[in-house]
Structure 1
Amino acid sequence: MDVVGAWRLVEWRISHGGGRVSHPFGRDAVGLLYYTSDGYMSATVARAERPPLPGATPRQAPPAAQAEAFASFFCYSGRYEIRDGQVAHDVEMALNPAFVGTTQVRELNFDGDRLILAAKEDDRWHTLIWRRA
């Protein structure tokens, strides 16, 4: 199966040491993942039903509301390359500036119409399951 195209998030789960499983943006998190044929990608994940920021413009929202909007949303984009059962995302832009310039490597698998990306972080595994949009 080819990764090129648009994918919708089915689930983002984190498996912790000891068997505990968590869902960072809830079981109903939403997301879109795009892979283009010319080697670019974009990933966006958010908590479902995020409230709008108060105020006339987002910059006028109170700092606490801005912080919650940041904490409930995740995105990055850049170039990608598939190699040896993995996909490497070379991050060019990201909500979190610390991601810019990094390479995010994910295990790459397919299960029927689903794309499964997984990565180890310390003693836990992040698994993101996507379905073609």
Structure 2
Amino acid sequence: MTIKRVLFIASIIIFTAFRPAFAGDNAKQIQGIWQLVSYNIEVKATGEKFPPMGAHPSGYTIFTPEGRTWFMLTGDDRKPATTTEEKAKLLDTMVAYAGAYRIEGDKWITSVQVAWNPAWVGTEQARQFKIEGDKLQVLTPWRVMPNWADKGETRSIITFERFKQ
């Protein structure tokens, strides 16, 4: 056996034994409907964690095999609004966007085409994720969120469970 062949075989063995989850693996695993289990925010400056949408928020995210995603979270205890002020306040208890997504290693990146916050339209939103069994754990990058900008840089820690009818 030539040295080239030995190196080639060795690299194949190392590659397959120690490779991270690649886009193909994660893309297949993430497809489907996921229901929100928990949603917390971590404040970078202080380490404080809080549930911005209350103890029992609701939400879903959906990933289609065609590469489309839809993401929506709403706070608990939302009430129908009648005044302009009440309607505006409802935006503080909601996060929603949709668009095309792609998987890059342990991240999903959404090319946002519609969003509750118009500033997100036309942007790419990246989310780190990990799937363990029927749980999807999501971590956003540090950023200033419009819903709680007074906290400075924060990140979301979100857990979903595969939806079962």
User: Which runs of 5 or more structure 2 residues have no equivalent in the other structure?
Assistant: 1-25, 144-152
Higher strand share: 1
Higher helix share: 2
Contact 2:55 2:76 in 1 (8 A): no
Match of 1:8 in 2: 35
Q: State the SS of the aligned residue for 2:140.
A: strand
Give the C-alpha shift of residue 28 in structure 1: 0.9
Question: Whole-Å Cα distance in 1 between the matches of residues 132 and 59 of structure 2?
Answer: 19
- Structure 1 residues 53 and 125, CA, compared in 2 at 3 Å: closer, same or farther? closer
In the comparison of the two structures, how many residue pairs are matched?
Answer: 126
Percent identity over paired residues: 25
Match for residue 128 of structure 2 among 84, 107, 116? 107
CA RMSD of aligned residues (A): 1.4
Q: Deviations over 1:24-53 (max 9, x none)?
A: 111211101111110000001001231112
Give the C-alpha shift of residue 130 in structure 1: 0.5
Q: Deviations over 1:47-99 (max 9, x none)?
A: 12311123xxxxxxx21111122221221000000112110011000011001
Q: Which runs of 4+ in 1 moved over 4 A?
A: none
Match for residue 115 of structure 2 among 84, 87, 94? 94
Under a length normalisation based on structure 1, what TM-score does the superposition of the two structures give? 0.87
Under a length normalisation based on structure 2, what TM-score does the superposition of the two structures give? 0.71
User: Which runs of 5 or more structure 1 residues have no equivalent in the other structure?
Assistant: 55-61
What amino acid does structure 1 have at the position aligned with 2:135? R
Matches within 5 A, 1:112-123: 112-122=133-143, 123=153
Higher relative contact order (CA 8 A, sep 6+): 1
Q: Which is higher, the Rg of structure 1 or of structure 2? A: 2
Match for residue 47 of structure 2 among 6, 16, 19? 19
